[in-house]
A and B are shown apart, each in its own frame.
Chain A
Amino acid sequence: MNANLTSAQDKVAPTPVLVELEINPEEASQFCDSIKKVSNVDINACYQCRKCTSGCPVAYAMDYTPAQILHAARLGLKELVLSSSTIWLCAACETCVTRCPQDVNLVKAMDALRVMSLSDGYKSKEPDVANFYRYSLGNIQLFGRLYELGLMGRLKLATREFRKDISLGLGLFKRGKLKLMPDLGALGETRRIRSQVRKLEKR
């Protein structure tokens, strides 16, 4: 049997784009501080060994590699970081977290960057991914337990790709894997948690 060598090639990071950007030292430390405040992660511990990037299974699809995003964040290049596709394409698999010699929790930092990107009104380069998370959160707040069919339907209304995954959905349904009706065994639970947590976030 032939060994598959293409996957290794696929993993090569995208060609870096040389760009000239204005750097403001004050903004740099401010941006790092706000990441730390939201995530409790100090990205300045990074020494750019790029282990995160070599292990990242999705680096091939990102506009900037994880190590580049970290570096850009340390330079205070907020616009570049918060509008990158990288923050939306992180699969949260934690390969980088496992291997980082400096214990920089990049997954927690990415969570913070997504939250910051949304609250600062940046348009996501991966709108379907952003919508998926948004609708999932809305779905569990409404039902308490995830209602898969409702989530898939909501996503379809947004993407308007009605034919995509139809055979998958039918296959799931045929095998009794998709419930028609939501399970209401925890109705209101998530909404209650949400409203309590909102009070904390405001502080």
Chain B
Amino acid sequence: MIYGYYPGCCLNSTCKDFDTSLRAVLRALDMPIKEIKRWSCCGSSAVHIASRQMAVSLPLANLAKAEKQGFEQLLVPCAACFARFKFAWHEIEEDPELRQEVEQALKHKFTNRLKILHPLEFFATDEMMKRVASARKRDLSKLKVVCYYGCFLSRPPDHFDDPEYPQTMDRAMRAAGAIVLDWGYRTDCCGGSFSLTRTDIALKLTHDILDGAREVGADAIVVTCPFCHMNMDARQGEIEAKYDTKYGLPVYYYSQIMAAALGAPEKEMMLQMHFVHRQGVMEKAGSNGD
């Protein structure tokens, strides 16, 4: 079976590292994917002022395309897109009147057959964990990470995993061979939507999370969301200056850790795209380092 793939705007631009490393992982695990033709933005950063109809129509238009193009499973790697897709689906399931309106606007009747999948849900199944563990090419057993899920992926309840204490990514990282540390900030909000506007809020919230990671002695933070990555990686220097501290904590997408474990070439791990590098961290994963 070929999985439908919805990269979304971030993976298509600011997060090429996420997209490229994920494609490498999927290839290594023999999971064929095909990008949805003419996909459009899910509206994640804009829907906060749009009507309810518009907020659900933007993601649903893409689900309609996936159905029309014959896919039965749709992989949505971006945490923000995944949240919007799940939200929209839930809204029309709950409200038949809204469903009718939206189906009319989009000129498409949903069949309910399409399954929206987050890659981590897939990677954390027992079967996949075994496959990843047996396909490991690099040794990550000295790398200590914390898994940061953020808010988009873990909420609302019933949409991904336990909303307060999710474990899916921890499982996937263990399968990749890394040491996964427990900590208390896995689902705290980083203030992603305020990164460009009330930057002070984003810096404060992200600072608390970075503190939490340092307190448990992590070498690196593993994330799933482009907004979290931007705040933690690209703004880490700014946070260090503002709060007069030093973290030097590299921030990786889970796909980069898995790509490292599965022996992907350096150019597909794309570690060089990050802002924060610390000598010795990725060398623990047997890579040449970032």
Q: Do A and B come from one complex?
A: yes
* Interface residues of A, Cβ cutoff 8 Å to B: 1, 3-4, 7, 10, 38-40, 57-58, 61, 89, 91-95, 97-98, 108, 111-112, 114-115, 118, 126, 128-134, 136-137, 139-140, 144-146, 148, 152, 155, 164-165, 168, 171-172, 175-179, 183, 185-186, 189-190, 193-194, 196-197, 199-201
Contact A177 B14 (CB under 8 A): yes
Contact B273 A176 (CB under 8 A): yes
Q: How far is the CA of A58 from the CA of B206 in the complex (A)?
A: 12
Contact B198 A126 (CB under 8 A): yes
A172: contacting residue among B54, B57, B105, B234, CB under 8 A? B234
A115: contacting residue among B51, B101, B106, CB under 8 A? B51
B46: contacting residue among A4, A7, A140, A189, CB under 8 A? A140
CB of B215 within 8 A of chain A? yes
Q: How far is the CA of A38 from the CA of B52 in the complex (A)?
A: 7
- Given A94-B151, A197-B54, A199-B105, check contact A140 B41 (CB 8 Å): yes
B267 contacts which chain A residues (CB < 8 A)? none
Contact B53 A57 (CB under 8 A): no
CB of B40 within 8 A of chain A? yes
A-B contact count (CB 8 A): 179
| Contact string against A for B residues 219-252, beta-carbon threshold 8 Å, 1 for contact and 0 otherwise | 0000000000000001100100000000000000
Q: How far is the CA of A133 from the CA of B48 in the complex (A)?
A: 7
Contact B197 A129 (CB under 8 A): yes
Contact B40 A145 (CB under 8 A): yes
12 CB contacts below 8 A, A to B, read A3-B215, A4-B211, A58-B189, A58-B191, A137-B43, A146-B9, A171-B275, A176-B16, A177-B13, A193-B58, A196-B106, A201-B51
* Interface residues of B, Cβ cutoff 8 Å to A: 9-10, 12-16, 38-41, 43, 45-55, 57-58, 61, 95, 101-102, 104-106, 151, 155-157, 163-164, 187-189, 191-194, 196-199, 201, 204-205, 208, 211, 214-215, 234-235, 238, 272-275
Residue on B nearest A144 in the bound complex, by CB: B40
**Distance in Å: Cβ of A162 to nearest Cβ of chain B:** 14
Contact A177 B15 (CB under 8 A): yes
**Distance in Å: Cβ of B206 to nearest Cβ of chain A:** 11
Contact A145 B41 (CB under 8 A): yes
B204 contacts which chain A residues (CB < 8 A)? 10
Contact A186 B155 (CB under 8 A): no
Contact B197 A148 (CB under 8 A): no
Residue on A nearest B205 in the bound complex, by CB: A57
Contact A148 B199 (CB under 8 A): no
A131 contacts which chain B residues (CB < 8 A)? 197
Contact A165 B199 (CB under 8 A): yes
